[in-house]
Structures are given as C-alpha cells and as structure tokens.
Amino acid sequence: MYKKLLARVMIVCIFVTYMPSIAFAADGEVTDDSNSQIEMEIESGSTGGDLTQANTPETDPEPAPAPRSASAELGPIMIGSQSYDTLASAVAAAAIDDTITINAAGTYTLPDVPKNITIKGTVDGVVFSHTGTGNIANIPNGATFENVSFIFGNSKYHGFQHVGTINMKNCKFDGLFYSYGDMNFTDCTFKQTTEEYIMWAYGGDLTYKNCVFDFKGKCINAYNEAGTELNKLLFEDCTFKSSVSNEAAVNVKETCGSKALLYDVVMKNCTTEGQFPAPSKSDALEVISALVQVDDKLSAPTENGGEIKVTVDETLVYSTPKAVAKQYVAQVGETKYESLEAAVAEAQAGDTVELLVNASGNGIKLNKDITIDFGGNTYTVDGTTVGSTGTETQAFQLLKDNTVVFKDGTITSAKAKMLVQNYSNLTLVNMVLDGSQLADSNPYTLSTNNGQTVIKDTKIVAKEGMIAFDVCSFGSYEANKVTVEGSSVIEGKVELSSENEAVEELVIKSGDFSKAALVMADGGNRVAVSKASGVELEAPADYKWVAEGDMQKLVAKQYVAQVGDTKYESLADAVEAATIGTITLLKDAEGDGIFVAAADAKNITIDLNGNTYKVTGKAVGSTGTVSQGFHLEAGNTVTIKNGTITSDTAEVKMLIQNYCNLTLTDVAVDGSALAG
C-alpha cells in the first residue's frame, strides 16, 4: 500500500514539472507561450522597428528556459532568493540599494519607485511600455535600470518624473521621452523611426557613454523652459546615425522666449553616420558640425555671456557672447563716444574733442574747425587709413580752409605710411608725432602742403633715416608756412620742396634739431628758410646761413671758382685752397684781392675762362703797402690766362705786384679805373 501511494506522488510531481508555465494576470505577469519560451515583437513607429528578446534563434540557437512561477525556486521577479508575484510587490518590499531581478522576458508595468533600488533584467526582452501621456513612473529618490527596454510613443512631456539620479545601463529606448532630472546612460541604444526627437533634455545633468542613437533627422533636443539652472550634457564615445538630413545630432536651444537658457554641452570622441546638415550660421541658428547646433539664438550678447557652452574634443566651439560694456574713449561736451573717429564725426565746428584714455582705431579725416585734446593719452591708428582717392595711406588727413589744434598727447601708427597730412591751419601743442613705426619704406611723419602749421613744444619723430616733416606745395595750393617754436624736438629729416609757384616758408624760432637734417628736394630752393642764430642746424649742401637781423637766412651758395671737383664762392678762397693745378673762374666775379705768399710755394694756373675778375673788396700787399689787386711773392709759379683783370675800388692803386715766376696769356690787365 505504501509503495502504491509513493508511486502516485511521483507521477503527480513529474506531471507538474512538464506543465506549461502559469501566466500572471496581474501587474508583472507574463503570458504562457505553450513552448516554454517567450517571444515578443513590439511595433515601433511606421517602419515597424521593434524590440525583441535577445535569445531568439538568430542570436541564440538554444531555447530560453520557461519562466517559473512565483513559488518556484527562481521566480520571474526576485529580490535575492525571495520571489514576488508582481513587480509592484517587489518594489514595495525592497530596501534601499536592493536589486530586483526580472528573470523572464515580457512586458511589465513600471510602478512608482520610492527608494533608490536597482531593477535588472537577467534575460533580454524585459520591456516597460508607456505609449500614452503622462510620466511612466514617479522615481523621487533615483534608481538604476539594467538590461531592460523602454517603449515610448511620441507624446510630449512624458518620461521619468524624478529628483534623484536615474542610471541606465545596457538599456534600449524606442520613441520619445523627456528627462526631468539627472540621468546617466551607459552602453544604451536609442531608436526613433519618426521625424521626432529621441529625447528632450528637459532638465537635469545628463551623461551618455558608449551609446548609439539611430534616428530620422532629430535626436537630442536640449531645452529647459525654466532656464534657471545650468544643465550639463556629456556625450562620450557615442555614435549618432541619421537617415534624414534635418538637424545636427544635438540641438541646443539658447532661448525660451526672451530668456537665456543654461547648458554646458561636452562631446568627446563622438562620431556621426548617415545624413546631417552642413555647418552654417545665421542670426537664429548656428550649425557647428554634424554633432551639434545652437538654435533660437539670442538676438544680442548677454551681460555675463557663456550661458550656452559647447565643447567638442576639448575645443570650445560655441559660447553665448558676452555683452561688452561700452568703453568710452572720447568725449564732446557731455557726450561720450566709443571711438575717437565717432567723436570727431559728431563734433560741430569749434568743438573740442577730448581723448579720455589710450585708444586705437581708424584713421581720421578732418574737414571742420576743431580741437582735439589728447589729454596726455596716445591714439594709435591700427584700422582703416584715410586720404585722397588712391592714396588712403594716412593716419590723419586735415583738409584745406579749416583751423585744427592737436594738443597734449601722442599719435602713432604701424599701419599708416604718413602720420599726418596737413592742408589746414594746424597748431601742434605739446604733442608727440611718433612715426618711428610707419609702414612705408619712405614714410613721412608730418607732411605740410598748405596753410600755416605751428609746431610748438612738440616732438616729431621719423622712422630711422626718413622724413620728420616737410614743407612742400603742389597743385593749386598757394601758400604754405611752417613755424617751429618753444621746446620742440625734431628727429629726422626736414625736407624742402616745391612743385608750383606757391609762397613757402619755414621759420625756426627755437627747438632742438640736433638729430635733424635739412635736405633739399626738387624745388626746395623756392622755400624761404630762416632760423634763430641759437638753433644748431647744419645748412644743406650748396647752401649756407646768412645773418639777417636777429635771424639767419638760408641762401644758396654762389660759386665763382672751381679747383678739380670743388667749387668756391670766391676766387680768393679757390687760390688759397690750391697748391698745384688749375683754378677756373666760372663766371664774371668780384671780390677781394689775390695774395700768394712766398711760403705757399704754389704752382698754379688761374684760368679766367673768358670771364672778368674785378677786385672790389679788400686790397692786398706787403705790410704798409696794402694797395694791390694781386700780390704774387717769390717762390711761386703763377699763370693767369684767358680773361680780364680790373678794379675800380679806391683801395687798389696797383693791379698786379709781381715777385714770382708769372706768365700772362691772353689776359687783359685793365688798370684804367685804378685810384690814384
């Protein structure tokens, strides 16, 4: 009897073992497939994309074991060794940091998760589907999901309502969902088969590592209507695949209405495949690359700047521009300007423009009566230069019939070829015109061509070896006068020239010209030049300073005689300089008597060259008898030829007194007008 009872019990056990699994009707249950294997096909979008369990015959030839009942040793839902009938009951029973394992493929309803726990699928095909409206679950304290799939439709504003951080590991996502807090995605795949986004980064810091995104023109939309907190998005080793060219992989909204949003987007070692828009830039949209774009851009810079920052492979590729506080550099009356150029343009005739700080900017063309007070500051012309058509190479151009004053500052430029071109009535007071860095190979620091220029207590510096200032008139300009006075310092050449018949004048009343040189260019002889006797300035070649009242006047030397290549202003100087050779009289001349001393031992020829030499100055002779036109002592050999010697001065009573070896050839010695 006992043996029969035991046999019947064993038959029942064997029968139960081979029965199909029981399907749960409540939350967390799965349906029996009568083949001890769960196969699931999930429609997703119009193209039929699906999420299926991984252990299909294509990926795993071995059939999956049938899920056990809740009372079995390994149930479909467990915490440790404890099985639960539903996911909701397991979540309710779980303690913080517990792991709930789902050991059977199927579609489950995700309940609210009030504690920070882990929900892990131990087999592929564990799915949470939420295609309606609202959020899939409330997760206030964070949670971790591993190896599960989420099916979303394309309704807006649904996802995970949470405050704590949600971690997703090896999970799959189909459709559109929103983030409302911090989320981390590792080894996850995302799929969107419509032209909707995969995800709205609607709130929180989001991290994506080694993720794959498969979409149709749109992927991530970083947009937070609140815009009060900075959200950080990190993409690392991610791949973005798009079948349609619409947007870059990550679309970052810069504004919500008039409010600037706050995002810090970092992308490291990410790649794209498929179709993406080319880089472009407009007022509203900037496509930086296939990876990222900034949309709904601000219409103007912000006070702080950097609300949106995008970094790709450690290079900052975009930052919301910062509004730069206006930097006023010039002022007219009570009105301030951001550039000297603007201030000058707005100034009225007779106004004073003040330079408030050291500044740089464009060249300035002046066509009005104006004073520029540089206030001890420097203005550097490093922008667009000015000038007449075809010669826009000047830092300042001052036009005719205007009165201009520059005072108390410095002008310089390394871009202009001429620092100041003046046609006006210009006064420089306590200025520095620094042309040492001018761009041209033959630059002018100051060029004066018309009007009256007064250089007072001013330093003018030329580029090495070049022109400090010139006095030059051309075209229809009628008068040009330059006056240097006070403690002015001139370093460089002072060039004199004239291309017309204008009245030109240079008056040097005072100043330091120790590093200056006066040079003559074409027509320079027409410029009247005078200087105070105390000013040290060497006269140009073939010119000399001649006293004229309290001043010295620059005059051209009048050469009358020549020895070799050297010319002399008097025959007496030429004879004194020559020891041997020929002295040539270049033209009819007058001058002092000629004295050749015994000690000179000269052997010379005086070639009058068809000209007349008239002794009108000092007579020569031995002591007590200084009354001769020529006095030639013994020990010399002298030949006089080809011309006339005469005198009508009262001091000369004998035309030639000879003691040397003298030869006269073709010479008229005319003593008809001798005195006495």
* pLDDT computed for residue 364 by the predictor: 97
Residue 14's pLDDT band, with cuts at 50, 70 and 90, is very low
Find the largest Cα–Cα distance for the chain.
193
φ, ψ of residue 296 in degrees (nearest 5): 50, 55
User: Is 74's pLDDT higher than 70?
Assistant: no
Which residue would you say has higher pLDDT here, 391 or 173?
A: 173
User: Is 64's pLDDT higher than 80?
Assistant: no
Question: Tokens at residue 322, please?
Answer: 């910062």
Residue 290's pLDDT band, with cuts at 50, 70 and 90, is very high
Record the pTM: 0.58
Residue 180's pLDDT band, with cuts at 50, 70 and 90, is confident
The secondary structure of 446-483 as a DSSP string is: EEE-SEEEEEES-EEEPSTTSEEEEEEE-TT--EEEEE
Cβ neighbour number for residue 314 with a 10 Å cutoff: 8
Tens digit of each residue's pLDDT (9 = 90 or more) over 356-391: 999 999 999 999 999 999 999 999 999 999 999 998
What span, in angstroms and rounded, lies between the C-alpha atoms of 491 and 463? Answer: 9
Specify the length of the chain in residues.
Answer: 676
The residues, ordered by sequence, that sit 6+ positions from 635 with a Cβ below 8 Å of its Cβ are 598, 599, 600, 601, 660
Which residue is associated with the tokens 């010209």? 513
Cβ neighbour number for residue 441 with a 10 Å cutoff: 8
Nearest Cα neighbor of 271 from 335, 353, 211 is 211
Residue 676's pLDDT band, with cuts at 50, 70 and 90, is low
* pLDDT computed for residue 46 by the predictor: 31
Q: Classify burial at 302, counting beta carbons within 10 Å of its beta carbon; exposed 0-12, middle 13-18, buried 19 or more.
A: middle
Whether 109 contacts 130, CB under 8 Å = no
Whether 67 contacts 87, CB under 8 Å = no
Whether 375 contacts 354, CB under 8 Å = yes
User: Is 513's pLDDT higher than 50?
Assistant: yes
Q: Which H/E stretch holds residue 343? A: helix 340-346
Tens digit of each residue's pLDDT (9 = 90 or more) over 395-433: 999 999 999 999 999 999 999 999 999 999 999 999 999
* pLDDT computed for residue 25 by the predictor: 34
Mean pLDDT score, 475-494:
95
CA-CA-CA-CA dihedral for 290, 292, 298, 299, to nearest 10:
-10
Nearest Cα neighbor of 338 from 330, 347, 350, 348 is 330
Tens digit of each residue's pLDDT (9 = 90 or more) over 320-341: 988 778 899 999 999 999 999 9
What span, in angstroms and rounded, lies between the C-alpha atoms of 304 and 323? Answer: 7
φ, ψ of residue 545 in degrees (nearest 5): -90, 135
Cβ neighbour number for residue 230 with a 10 Å cutoff: 14
Among 220-234, 465-479, 617-631, which is the least confidently predicted range?
A: 220-234
Residue 304's pLDDT band, with cuts at 50, 70 and 90, is confident
* pLDDT computed for residue 131 by the predictor: 87
- Helix, strand, coil abundance in the chain, percent, nearest 5: 5, 45, 50
Whether 195 contacts 217, CB under 8 Å = yes
CA 326 to the chain's CA centroid: 18
Mean pLDDT score, 575-596:
96
Which residues are registered as beta bridge partners of 83?
78
Strands (DSSP E) contained in 489-593 are 489-498, 503-508, 512-520, 527-532, 543-548, 551-556, 561-563, 566-568, 580-585, 589-591
Whether 249 contacts 291, CB under 8 Å = yes
Tens digit of each residue's pLDDT (9 = 90 or more) over 204-247: 899 999 999 999 999 999 988 777 889 999 999 999 999 999 99
Mean pLDDT score, 112-121:
96
Cβ neighbour number for residue 263 with a 10 Å cutoff: 23
CA 604 to the chain's CA centroid: 72
User: Is 39's pLDDT higher than 50?
Assistant: no
What span, in angstroms and rounded, lies between the C-alpha atoms of 532 and 224? Answer: 80
Nearest Cα neighbor of 134 from 161, 162, 164, 113 is 161
The residues, ordered by sequence, that sit 6+ positions from 642 with a Cβ below 8 Å of its Cβ are 607, 608, 609, 610, 665, 666, 667
CA-CA-CA-CA dihedral for 398, 401, 405, 411, to nearest 10:
10
Tens digit of each residue's pLDDT (9 = 90 or more) over 541-576: 999 999 999 999 999 999 999 999 999 999 999 999
- Computed over every residue of the chain, the mean pLDDT equals 88
Residue 317's pLDDT band, with cuts at 50, 70 and 90, is very high
CA 8 to the chain's CA centroid: 96
What span, in angstroms and rounded, lies between the C-alpha atoms of 461 and 459? Answer: 6
Residue 271's pLDDT band, with cuts at 50, 70 and 90, is very high
User: Is 167's pLDDT higher than 90?
Assistant: yes
φ, ψ of residue 92 in degrees (nearest 5): -65, -35
- The fraction of the chain above a pLDDT of 90, given in percent, is 77
What span, in angstroms and rounded, lies between the C-alpha atoms of 173 and 77? Answer: 22
User: Is 28's pLDDT higher than 50?
Assistant: no
Q: Classify burial at 264, counting beta carbons within 10 Å of its beta carbon; exposed 0-12, middle 13-18, buried 19 or more.
A: middle
